[in-house]
Amino acid sequence: MRFRLLLAVCAAVATAVAAGCGTSSRKAETTTRVTVPSYGVFPAATITGPAAEAGDSVACRRDATSFTRDAADFLAHSGSRAAYPADLAFVELRSVLADFLARRCDPELLGRDLERALTAKQRAALVAGLPRAIAATVREALSAPRRR
């Protein structure tokens, strides 16, 4: 049941990104909105990112670093040896990813950060442990061509 809820949340985020979240054409040129549905006690939130920050901005690099840190926490609190569940790390992870997507950041930034911080085995475990929509975004970031 919990896995299905996570899947529904991630599918809603992916759909919102793909649909442009119903913004007007003028606003769509300057901002992107990504709505993160509620999850347990955590309320829904709409993340708005200015297009001016797209690509390789300081904010995008900060989001990539935050996502990577949250991914490490998610992995640390997943599995039978974890002291407590990975729910909080997951909530943080999905919120940072929504911010990253709303800013239209370059997936290469995220892929590069994940490759630096996590081993290949950890990256595989991360993708395997995430809901499909988020895992697809992470896979895309990991397969993005490296320009530097």
- How would you write the chain as a 3-class SS string? CHHHHHHHHHHHHHHHHHHHHHCCHHHHHHEEEEEECCECCECCEEEEEEHHHCECCHHHHHHHHHHHHHHHHHHHCCCCCCCCCCHHHHHHHHHHHHHHHHCCECHHHHHHHHHHHCCHHHHHHHHHHCCHHHHHHHHHHHHCCCCC
Model's pTM, two decimal places? 0.69
Q: Is residue 148 included in any domain, yes or no?
A: no
Q: Is residue 61 included in any domain, yes or no?
A: yes
The tally of domains found in the chain comes to 1
Q: Is residue 119 included in any domain, yes or no?
A: yes
Q: What is the mean pLDDT of residues 1-5?
A: 41
Q: Is residue 100 included in any domain, yes or no?
A: yes
Q: Is residue 30 included in any domain, yes or no?
A: yes
pLDDT digits (tens, 9 = 90+) for 65-113: 999 999 998 898 876 665 566 677 888 888 899 889 888 899 999 999 9
Q: What is the pLDDT at residue 110?
A: 95
Q: Is residue 16 included in any domain, yes or no?
A: yes
Provide the domain limits for residue 118. Answer: 2-143
Q: Is residue 127 included in any domain, yes or no?
A: yes
Q: What is the pLDDT at residue 6?
A: 42
